[in-house]
Amino acid sequence: MVGTAITRLLKPLRLPLASGDHLIDPPVVLAPMAGITNAPFRTLCREQGAGLFVSEMVTARALIERRPETMRMIVPGKDEWPRSVQLYSVDPTTMRAAVTMIGKENLADHIDMNFGCPVPKVTRKGGGAALPYKRKLFSNIVQAAVEAAKPFGIPVTVKMRIGIDSDHHTFLEAAQSAADLGVAWVALHARTAAQMYEGKSDWSKIAELVEHLKPSGVPVLGNGDIWSGKDAVDMVNQTGCAGVVVGRGCLGRPWLFADLVSSLQGNEKEITPTLHQVREVMFRHASLIVEYLESEDRGMRDMRKHMAWYLKGFRVAREIRHDLGMVSSLEEMRELLDRLDEQPYPIEVGDKPRGRTSHGRPPTLPDGWLDDPDELVHVELEDAFSGG
């Protein structure tokens, strides 16, 4: 684990907690990813140097209804602090109730709000990346969260995309509105909802937002296409962002955070674990998931999706790859991992894009959604997203 502070490019990022200012140093944030950033994965990333580690996105409605799986999703890992939860809602009243519940029951230290999810089951109900287009609704939801969090000293942040598509950019106006309402920072994924995860993210939009929010003093964090420590350095140099948010780049590579910290300190040598080092991270990850889910069967089923990411670029026999993808016990996984031959990290392949590569497509939106950005709509509640 890299433990020294970043001294070259980025200052510590201030997070105003109830107990006093917490300096996120390094200002490197693990992005929330559905089905990925549970407590075990956050633990692995935290040990490698992540400055803040956000939960999987949970719906405000599911939280106030105390659905068991949602309540499990916000349970922190051992010694995890600050406890960071990402909330999704399309209704100010529901958002206010969820934030109040978090505050009263001391369930989190920081709340991030999702206005960036591009998947159709969210945008078709006006949620995620579609929502900032409705200016008043967006402002009302952010205001409800900030006001509800204030008595408990919980900072609120927002994560958004550039806009719905190339004809409907919302990031400047929405970010300004959020800044005026009192959010601690704005994170921008430099793609539109229509792009999904296609192509290259447009870092120039991050730079534009940095300049736009300078008078407010609200920091901007950059997100999109950080696959290596060098990418993080390039983003900071090109945009002037105050921190970086990393999502798909760390899939099967929690050590990416150690590499990010090292690179932002000015070190040029990349963190490149050998296959035998990687296999030990894999086994620890599986063990943590089994413990977290309190079931070896459920834990191993959940672990299967990580196998290909961890082994990307390594030379692994087809039979072993197949069996790891179907593994059903820790004992079986250990036996398979022990059959792997040692080899160096495959930088040329290992640092390439991974995870979701959904092709761009016109966003699925509610009927008439684009007619009037000032219309104060009442959209359906969080039936849009059943994941939480």
Q: Which of the residues are catalytic?
A: 117
Give the Cα separation of 82 and 351 in Å (integer): 29
Report the amino acid identity of residue 208: E
Give the Cα separation of 246 and 260 in Å (integer): 10
Report the amino acid identity of residue 37: T
Strands 52-59 and 84-88, sheet pairing? parallel
Residue 336: Cβ within 10 Å count: 21
End-to-end CA distance of the chain: 32
- Classify the C-alpha dihedral 256-260-261-265 as positive or negative: positive
Q: What's the number of CA atoms in the CB half-sphere (13 Å) around residue 156?
A: 30
Q: Which residues pair with 220 in a beta bridge?
A: 186
User: What single DSSP character describes residue 387?
Assistant: -
Token digits of residue 7: 């001294």
